[in-house]
Amino acid sequence: MCGIVGAVAERNVTPILLEGLRRLEYRGYDSAGIAVINPDTCLDRVRRVGKVQALADSLQQTPLKGSTGVAHTRWATHGEPSESNAHPHICNQQVALVHNGIIENHTELRNAQQANGFHFTSETDTEVAVHQIEYYLNQTGDLLEAVRLAVKDFDGAYALGVVAVKQPGRMIATRSGSPLVIGVGIGEYFIASDVTALLPVTRRFIFLEEGDIADITTESLTIYDKAGNVVEREIKESNLSADATAKGEYRHYMLKEIHEQPLCLTDVLEGRIHEGEVIDNSFGPKASEVFERLKQIQIIACGTSYHAGLVARYWLEAITGVPCNVEVASEYRYRNPVLLDDTLVVTISQSGETADTLAALRGIGDRAWKLCICNVPESSLVRESHLTLMTRAGPEIGVASTKAFTTQLMGLMLLMLAIGKHRGLDAERRHAIIEAAYQLPGQIENILSASDQIEQWADAFTDIDNAIFIGRGTLFPIALEGALKLKEISYIHADAYPAGELKHGPIALIDSDLPTVAVACNDGHQEKVKSNIQEILARGGEVYLFADESLDMSELGDNCHVMPLPSVSAEMAPIVYCVPLQLFSYFVAIRKGTDVDQPRNLAKSVTVE
Ligand code: F6R
């Protein structure tokens, strides 16, 4: 989703802004732009549709120079990707602004501003923001006051970076509903949508809170909370190095992140197990009390994180006996759901900023305990939850989630075990599951080093338009996730079904042009999956089956291609089986020549509805 960078310094900030934009490319965008206040105290701006590289090429032709500036990558919401819709937006050559989020009352504001003589050059909701600020700047003569008054007129979500030619060396930054961090340098300050943009210039960050407004110059930083009081916000040191977001030897971030999974899974376990038991405090100081008292669990998430929640429901209900619902946040937030007493709401999110998940969490108010499984410690979801478990996957740059997903699963496995301890899950079973969890990194390494067969299978998918994925039990959500990965990065339409549902409709689709990808582990459902595969084969379908190496699939014949996977317990299977499906989508996408790390139309952090 859109990315913001801004800087106030003594030096030329254009290279810093440009590098920041490159580092935000992973968020997804379709145009990019930079505006700086030049040494003659005028605004200079360059905007381009397409990649940041196109902007960089233009800057070679028309270099920009200035020590105060803002920059943006735009993911179109209101108005097509075009130069005139790209940010920064400028009003009367006086104020430049970059914006993430959506100003929902933009039509009303636009009508009022047009009546006041403001001229519009874009179709965006954002342009009303820059006009409103310029309007108040004319009245008050002070940029901070102008932003403070303007944001009172906005309904919706925003993170803003604003500069004005009459106040060079100053930038106002504010957020409500969209994330924004301030990077603290020596005699210089920066802003960005996330820390990765600023790692080459600083590792010291302040995470603005909802409604904060920051008045930033080279000499000073003053932050006001939403009530207008001056507040001190802690400076946090990031342990990420500037090359934490480098691709290294890999051709794509996605491939790098797939290969990082064994290490990431080890990191999830690190320091959270003592004498074969999950330490409750890994979730926060009050966790034991909550786990003891809870009567039901409600999981809320979106996309891949929702699939992790679906797996967790199988685990939680089957192993701990605690009733568990799972729902996509975009539905949950609007349907006035019933929450029983003593419910634990679990949100799952890589970014911790997903607008729907955050809104669903906020809608719950104080009616439940809130636990968040997340990859970004300073994110809004984490800050607004009572209990948290960080997945420690490190920055995930590929838009299609891989290591974030497997680490979420491992986090949910720890949650299941911690709750199970309070629910009579016997110690022997708990220890066996933990023992099996420690084996996972090695087993996944084995799959990663034997990917040739998966690569060969990918050839058969290069020219197809549709595919079906099937699985049963905990592997049904993995089939959903496999189908999502294929759709996202190869643009092949793929649907996933519980294998038992095929005969209730989807089997009508089966013919020799529609391949099926199936997953089967040794969980007691294998014979049923085999029967479902037989039904597909009998109708001329071709099947690509990832199956536990201990299962005999020979009777399925030549039209069922089988790739054996390491024998793992039923509990561990989802974490292992998603890995070959990730690789499979990756290899198909490579053959199709798509933009694997930044697939079309997608955004990494979905901070608008
Ligand atoms: C798919 C993917 C998305 C996200 C979804 C939720 O590969 O990454 O489906 O899972 O947008 O995002 P988070 O986990 O950040 O809440």
Q: What is the pLDDT of residues 324-379, one digit of tens each?
A: 999 999 999 999 899 999 999 999 999 999 999 999 999 999 999 999 999 998 89
Neighbours of 90 (CB within 10 A): 19
The pLDDT, as a whole number, for residue 492 is 97
Residue 484 confidence class, pLDDT cut points 50, 70, 90: very high
Ligand 1 — pocket residues by CB below 6 A? Answer: 302-305, 349-351, 354, 357, 400-401, 484, 488, 605-606
**Residue 608: half-sphere exposure toward Cβ, Cα within 13 Å:** 23
The pLDDT, as a whole number, for residue 163 is 98
Parallel, antiparallel or unpaired: strands 466-471 and 493-498? parallel
Measured in degrees and rounded to the nearest 5, phi and psi for residue 165 equal -65, -30
Position 608 pLDDT exceeds 80? no
The pLDDT, as a whole number, for residue 242 is 78
Position 246 pLDDT exceeds 90? no
The pLDDT, as a whole number, for residue 41 is 82
The pLDDT, as a whole number, for residue 607 is 78
How does pLDDT run across 188-223, given as a tens digit for each residue? 999 999 999 999 999 999 999 999 999 999 999 999
Q: Whose CA is nearest to atom 9 of ligand 1?
A: 303
Mean pLDDT for all residues in the chain = 95
DSSP state, residue 549: T
Q: How far is the CA of 339 from the centre of ligand 1 (A)?
A: 25
> Which of 256, 421, 485, 604 does the annotation list as catalytic?
604
The token pair that represents 293 in the structure block? 């008292």
How does pLDDT run across 567-602, given as a tens digit for each residue? 999 999 999 999 999 999 999 999 999 999 999 888
Q: How far is the CA of 493 from the centre of ligand 1 (A)?
A: 18
Q: Whose CA is nearest to atom 5 of ligand 1?
A: 303
* Per-residue burial over 294-304, b = 16 or more CB atoms within 10 Å of its CB, e = otherwise: bebbbbbbbbb
Superfamily of domain 253-448: Glucose-6-phosphate isomerase like protein; domain 1 (3.40.50.10490)
Domains 253-448 and 452-592 fall in the same CATH topology: yes
Distance (Å, whole) CA 312 – CA 527: 23
Collapsed DSSP state (helix, strand, coil) of residue 548: strand
> Which of 2, 302, 324, 521 does the annotation list as catalytic?
2
2 part of the active site: yes
Cβ pair 430, 299 in contact under 8 A = no
CATH number assigned to the domain with residue range 2-237, chosen from the 4 options 3.40.50.360, 3.30.390.50, 3.60.20.10, 3.40.50.720: 3.60.20.10
Q: How far is the CA of 354 from the centre of ligand 1 (A)?
A: 8
Distance (Å, whole) CA 558 – CA 560: 5
For the purposes of burial, counting CB atoms within 10 Å of the CB of 463, is it exposed (0-12), middle (13-18) or buried (19 or more)? exposed
The pLDDT, as a whole number, for residue 377 is 87
Superfamily of domain 452-592: Glucose-6-phosphate isomerase like protein; domain 1 (3.40.50.10490)
The token pair that represents 125 in the structure block? 């909701």
Q: How far is the CA of 553 from the centre of ligand 1 (A)?
A: 34
DSSP state, residue 164: E
- Domain locations along the chain: 2-237, 253-448, 452-592
560 part of the active site: no
- pLDDT (average), residues 96-110: 94
Can you list the positions of beta strands (E) in 179-272? 181-184, 189-192, 204-207, 213-217, 221-224, 230-231, 236-237
Does this model's pTM top 0.75? My answer is yes
The pLDDT, as a whole number, for residue 243 is 78
Distance (Å, whole) CA 181 – CA 387: 23
Name the residue of 75, 257, 302 to mutate for ligand 1: max ligand atoms within 8 A of Cβ. Answer: 302
Q: How far is the CA of 399 from the centre of ligand 1 (A)?
A: 8
The pLDDT, as a whole number, for residue 603 is 81
